Structure 1
């Protein structure tokens, strides 16, 4: 990959009192990472230098004030602030939330404007990031507003992909939020994602039941019988390979998940608990369905180990790799599929003359 082909990876720094800056610095302190991409961290070179020193890490930052100044083979830091920031390891403070929000919104704008190719977000605290002009449960919801498409949280590894019909929704509201339209929209979003972002020609998707044991024929709720089952039957009749609903309690333990390209869980914990049990530290949170690529590690701020230098950058590193791979795979898909129905001028002339394609 030459310099012109390197993917420009934007990084929002997350909660400064958590492990975000640590895993970002550890990831890009490995020279090999700069062979794959050109990182642009949205933060402050002074703040990152302070954190680096506090944690005894080795890295050199290249501060920039314009994207045109970003250099390959450098850890570029787009300086969003110049003032010193007080770091309170392991504490959820309003100050940390302010800087996390400043980093994330600036990085999102850069993504929209094409100044970066992909976005990888370090963990935030969903509580201290809330403001009057930012009332979103998390990254995904804000990106859904700012970017084009139908956003869907998709947890991914090389061998396991788990999406959600509902994500940051209270358990008591899950069933009422799952409608035929939601199911169709989520399945179609996942189907297209698997094709263009992961190179699966004809995706095979499994859905998990809403209620325990898929409702046991109405004994434990009728949501599956009335909503999920008939909707999936109609989609299968239309040619889509969507199966289920499957009882969630045995689906992963039995290994049945290995028979599918992706799984759609009814709600957050139903999908993320087995995913993180099987893949913690290696998984990536991908916001599927949007016109831009965003990934993040599969863990949170980890306040309990913040400032101790113990954070494992493995999941963040995988998030960077995933963003680059998805970006390249999507470009390849777009190249292959563009103008596939376009008729050549020579053939068009023959067809106008009445010499259309031969009948089968």
Structure 2
């Protein structure tokens, strides 16, 4: 791990997100509290000029330590790796080409450091999915970009202490959801979630619920046949392997009756089926965790917040939760890998 000779603190790389949004606000507010340095060493990938603009605009006194290379990281400080020096026009609250361009510069630089083991985990501030599009970033969001650049197959999980919501299909049009749902895809996402619950959350025998695709799970074919012909048989087959997988459940009753509290993880068939109830229950406190990859990435559960950017109104709770989740997952995963390695040696 990076800098193990100097400190055993986890090094958290942070991408700044859209420079016109609330990303830097929640970052700077979080690390105003110097007690945060007891838990980790943060490294911000960005520009001193951009950070200074936000500090001045928000009247924040967060102490920043500028570095020119990751070998110069200082523990007990908020490190800022300057990855561009040019002046950048900041238009708070607006989606501009520069907002996307420099969000990608920050993200790609942080990702490279993650791949090279110069940082331990990646914490991403929100991007605008439209203005970041380019030859280098032709993806619906962070999750797909990271999957393309790291090892493994991803599963987006939105989570709190009470609810971990995974998505069988992610950022795709609703018109393509039914044709995308296959036994192979369901099986793969269940496997990723189960493995993540074991290695990342220290749950030895996780219980996973799978939501149905159609209203009322199709009502025995009256409202669609996919649940009876694809989902139900697939869950039954997965169960035969010993996994504790249950369903399909009709989403409305599942959340209305708080049945989700009985499970360690829930898999929704499509984006809004899972994230609408999740955000209704947990918005502002949730964490976006990318499971299934060889590196750890978390993010707050909110977007760029253009409507409140620069107004000193952004809440840091979700960002802080994302930070602490990344630290917890890092420790759990390392412990899991060590235990598995010892088991193999014994065998």
Q: Structure 2-normalised TM-score?
A: 0.97
CA distance in 2, matches of 1:35, 1:113: 24
2:111 to 96, 99, 108: 108
Distance 1:141 1:298 in 2: 16
- Partner of residue 63, structure 2: 60
Which residues of 2 match residues 86-125 of structure 1 at below 5 A? Answer: 86-125=89-128
Which of 261, 277, 282 is the matching residue for 1:279? 282
Task: State the distance in 1 between where 2:136 and 2:44 align.
Answer: 23
Match of 1:156 among 131, 155, 159: 159
Supply the RMSD in Å over aligned alpha carbons: 1.3
Whether the 8 Å contact between 1:204 and 1:260 is mirrored in structure 2 is yes
- Contact kept in structure 2, 1:45 and 1:62, CA below 8 Å: no
Corresponding position: 1:336 with 2:346: no
Contact 2:232 2:248 in 1 (8 A): yes
Partner of 1:311: helix, strand, or coil? coil
* 1:310 and 2:313 are equivalent in the alignment: yes
Q: Do the aligned partners of 1:208 and 1:245 also contact (CA within 8 Å) in 2?
A: yes
Asked if 1:295 corresponds to 2:276, the answer is: no
Once the two structures are superposed, residues 34-89 of structure 1 have per-residue CA deviations (whole angstroms, 9 ceiling, x without a partner) of: 11100000001221011101111111211111111010011100101112221101
1:166 aligned residue (166, 169, 173): 169
Q: Is the 8 A contact 2:99 2:131 kept in 1?
A: yes
Is 2:189 aligned against 1:186?
Answer: yes
SS in 2 for 1:32: helix
User: Is the Cα–Cα contact under 8 Å of residues 123 and 298 in structure 2 kept in the other structure?
Assistant: yes
Report the equivalent of 2:226. Answer: 223
Task: Give the Å deviation of 1:280.
Answer: 1.0
* Residue equivalent to 1:203: 206
**1:3 Cα shift?**
5.8
Please give the per-residue CA displacement for 1:87-136, whole angstroms capped at 9, x wherever unaligned.
Answer: 10110000110000100011111100001000000000000000023211
1:14 equivalent in structure 2: 17
Return the alpha-carbon distance in structure 1 between the equivalents of residues 69 and 36 of structure 2.
22
The 8 Å contact of residues 299 and 319 in structure 2, kept in 1 or not, is answered as yes
- Counterpart for residue 149 of structure 2: 146
- Residue pair 2:7, 2:75 contacting (<8 A) in 1 also: no
**Deviation of 1:298 (Å):** 0.3
Deviation of residue 2 (structure 1)? 11
Across the two proteins, how many residue pairs are aligned to each other? 344
Asked if structure 1 preserves the Cα contact closer than 8 Å seen for 2:154 and 2:293, the reply is: yes
**Segments of 4+ moved more than 4 angstroms:** none
Give the SS at the match of 2:285: coil
| Inter-partner Cα distance in structure 1 for 2:31 and 2:40 | 10
State whether structure 2 residue 323 is matched by structure 1 residue 320. yes
More displaced stretch, 95-104 vs 46-55: 46-55
User: Could you list the runs of 5+ residues in structure 1 that have no partner in the other structure?
Assistant: 345-360
Q: Distance in 1 between matches of 2:155 and 2:346?
A: 35
Secondary structure in structure 2 of the residue aligned to 1:333: helix
Can you give the 5+ residue segments of structure 2 that lack an aligned partner in the other structure?
Answer: none
**CA displacement at 1:330 relative to structure 2:** 0.5
Q: Structure 2: how far apart are the matches of 1:327 and 1:55?
A: 32
**Compared CA separation, residues 52 and 170, structure 1 to 2 (3 A):** same
3-state SS of paired residue (1:9): strand
Secondary structure at 1:124 match in 2 = coil
> Is the CA contact 2:19–2:50 (under 8 Å) kept in the aligned structure 1?
no
Pick the structure with greater CA Rg.
1
Asked if 2 retains the 8 angstrom alpha-carbon contact of 1:164 and 1:266, the reply is yes
